[in-house]
Amino acid sequence: MTTEDERREIRRRHLREVRHGTSGCGVHHVTLISGDVERTIRFYQDVLEFPLTTVAENPGHEGSSRVLFDVGDGDLLAFADFPGLALPAYREVLGGLHHIAIRVPPERWSRLRGRLDEARVPYHQENGVSLRFADPDGTPLELTAAPPAEAESPHRR
């Protein structure tokens, strides 16, 4: 377990007072595994209202499909299926995915909470701006109406 004193020491050693920007310009896409492409499309496009932008063969995996959804700001959430492989259900593992948080406008957040209710997707609401739930394959997601992450600038901690 990491103590607050240990976190303070990590901040002292690694956080910079002056940020000179990052070499990155955003997340192009994150790719997850889909157990059923049709079900994934129905959930992400019809329930969460993320437009489907691409349906194609998964490069390097004949017979596998890749679908991409627009999650705003030019960022994409991608899914690949691997028919014929007996893939286990999602589980959180060291080095694996904890959850994906997607920022949405406050007025859309309330609407999406209603869409989750309509689809009977259980969720946990936090702080009036965060909904945590799982997609049909068990991937943990968060919809947040919190301000952009830059509000949590490292030199403020």
- Which pLDDT score is estimated for 42? 97
pLDDT tens-digit readout, 23-75: 888 888 999 999 999 999 999 999 999 999 999 998 888 889 999 999 998 89
CATH number of the domain at 28-83+90-152, please?
3.10.180.10
- In 3D, which of 16, 42, 31, 138 has the Cα closest to residue 79? 31
Worst-scoring range by mean pLDDT, 46-55, 106-115, 116-125, 145-154?
Answer: 145-154
Q: What share of the chain is helix, strand, coil (3-state, %, to 5)?
A: 25, 25, 50
